[in-house]
Amino acid sequence: MKTTKKLVLLSLMLSQALVLSIVESWIPVPVPVPGVKLGLANIVTMVIIAFMGTADTIILVILRCLLSSMFSGGISVFLFSVSGGLLSAVVMLVLHKKFSKIFSVVGISIAGAISHNIGQIMVASVIMKEVSVFGYLPVLFISGIITGCFVGLCSSFLIKALQKTNIFNN
């Protein structure tokens, strides 16, 4: 893919991920559990994993976390976001590259959502200097399975539609 086209596509995908993050912040989550989110921006991450490389995925995740934390938080929001986002991206990249015959897009998305939660709990335990926050993981695993399934289904439909357009081909 030509450099200019690649840069434009990555920029468009980054802007779409940021818009999804903003829209997601407007959606009330009907669960009284702090930190549970749908993870709509991960739809874009799944698309980048499917069509582009590892470096592009990592760059997109870091930029998305940086920009979204500038809009809605600060350094602590960034730390939680980037730790979960990078761990999630690495897990999804490995599953997609090495095990895509075993795991569907939905399965990869669920693994990514659970990994995201693990990354955030790890940062929380360091910041709070408390390991008891790991007791929160069962609740986050359940929400990760549900939200990962939803994001995976959306990603799967979008990836199939984008394959027909050939937009990511040379």
pLDDT in tens, 68-104: 888 877 788 888 889 999 999 999 999 999 999 999 9
**Which tokens belong to 83?**
């730790």
Q: What is the mean pLDDT of residues 37-65?
A: 94
SS3 content of the chain, % helix, strand, coil (to 5): 80, 0, 20
Amino acid at 17: A
| pTM, entire model | 0.92
What proportion of the chain, given as a percentage, has pLDDT over 90? 67
Predicted pLDDT of residue 28? 79
Which position has the token pair 């920009």? 67
Count CB neighbours of 102 within 10 A: 9
The domains located in the chain, with CATH, are 3-165 (1.10.1760.20)
The distance in angstroms from the start CA to the end CA of the chain is 5
